[in-house]
Chain A
Amino acid sequence: MQIQVNGEALEVQESTTLADLTEQLQLTGKRIAIELNLEIIPRSEHAATRLSSGDRVEIVHAIGGG
């Protein structure tokens, strides 16, 4: 199925969880935050949150800024 991650289309397997997605993107253990369809999904719920076709995921991290 297809989802959107940070504005880009991405093909993932059915019943992929947010934890699976972060692993697929090599982001496991990184300091990131995830929003799914405009809603924050706390880190503790990544493993239990299954994605559906068409979901919009935002993955963010901290960078330098003033």
Chain B
Amino acid sequence: MSELEHNDPLVIAGQTFRSRLLVGTGKYKDMAETGAAIEASGAEIVTMAVRRTNLGQNPDEPNLLDVISPERYTLLPNTAGCYTADDAVRTCRLARELLDGHDLVKLEVLGDQKTLYPNIVETVKAAETLVKDGFKVMVYTNDDPIVAKRLEEIGCVAVMPLGSLIGSGLGIQNPHNIRLILEEAQVPILVDAGIGTPSEAAMAMEMGCAGVLVNSAIAGAQNPVLMAQAMQKAVQAGREAHLAVRMPRKAYASASSPLEGVINN
């Protein structure tokens, strides 16, 4: 680990993390691939979903928590698939019991199946209930700066606007809105959803995002393990570039080599 990384932790709800890349565990071929890709990503915060247990079928089927151990990773249960505040709150409470009282959750309340766009009305309602119930809420939202601020005021510990639709790999469609959100934010802002390539993850980090959450871009690559490694580097490079502050843009050329001593007549 480099000196810089060591001195520049991601802080969420008072907990510090070295990696600013958060990864999901969906869409992988099998548990072995999931484990290998997560490991290669260097991520410390890893999302998971909560679903009904299949009764009477394969009782010995490997459990996600056997591969992604809660002792090693900070698990971030999501409320994916929930379309109402009530279902999302219920899912978070089940997750807290499942993970022995762990109260960091990723809230997402969706609007429809075609876009998986967040339903903001239900998201706000669920966030209010969960915060009152003692949960530390990282919230998936659209890229509306007013909504992002409202979710922060409710007490969410991190706000996670979409770059583009979940699973689309279309990158950050409206970087100007992400900048507006960043300008006002007092909590970590992470781009969640839409990242398709490492360059897009780096772009989010260069803009000043505290982190990015990536799932499909890794799981959907032909070589997920190699892509996980690439994402790790991109997030780190983007963060370092943000801290270094980029050169100003100029309208005209500015020679890199000195003009003095040029051989000419």
Q: Are A32 and B216 in contact (CB under 8 A)?
A: no
Identify the closest chain B residue to A42 (Cβ): B97
Q: Are A60 and B52 in contact (CB under 8 A)?
A: yes
Q: Mark B76-102, 1 if CB is under 8 A from A, else 0.
A: 011010000000001001111111000
Q: Within the complex, what minimum Cβ distance (angstroms) separates B201 from chain A?
A: 15
Chain B residues, CB < 8 A from A8: 55
Q: Within the complex, what minimum Cβ distance (angstroms) separates A29 from chain B?
A: 10
Chain A residues, CB < 8 A from B24: 64-66
Chain B residues, CB < 8 A from A63: 48-51, 64
Question: Which segment of A12-20, A33-41, A48-56 sits at the interface?
Answer: A33-41
CA distance A43 to B99 in the complex (A): 11
Interface size on B, residues (CB 8 A): 36
CA distance A30 to B65 in the complex (A): 10
Q: Are B27 and A27 in contact (CB under 8 A)?
A: no
Identify the closest chain A residue to B215 (Cβ): A66
Q: Within the complex, what minimum Cβ distance (angstroms) separates B13 from chain A?
A: 21
Q: Which 10 A-B pairs have the closest CB atoms?
A: A65-B49, A66-B24, A66-B215, A64-B25, A33-B98, A33-B97, A26-B59, A6-B52, A66-B26, A65-B26
Q: Within the complex, what minimum Cβ distance (angstroms) separates B32 from chain A?
A: 12
| SS class, residues of chain B in contact with chain A | mixed
- 21 pairs, A vs B, C-beta closer than 8 Å: A6-B53, A6-B55, A27-B53, A30-B63, A31-B98, A40-B96, A58-B52, A59-B52, A59-B55, A60-B50, A60-B51, A60-B94, A61-B50, A62-B63, A62-B98, A63-B51, A63-B64, A64-B24, A64-B26, A64-B64, A66-B78
CA distance A66 to B216 in the complex (A): 8
Identify the closest chain A residue to B51 (Cβ): A63
B232 interface hit (Cβ, 8 Å): no
Q: Are B98 and A61 in contact (CB under 8 A)?
A: yes
Chain B residues, CB < 8 A from A42: 97
- In chain A between 1 and 26, which residues have their CB closer than 8 angstroms to a CB of chain B? 5-8, 10, 25-26
CA distance A31 to B99 in the complex (A): 8
Q: Within the complex, what minimum Cβ distance (angstroms) separates A6 from chain B?
A: 4
Q: Are A64 and B53 in contact (CB under 8 A)?
A: no
Chain B residues, CB < 8 A from A32: 53, 98
CA distance A66 to B55 in the complex (A): 24
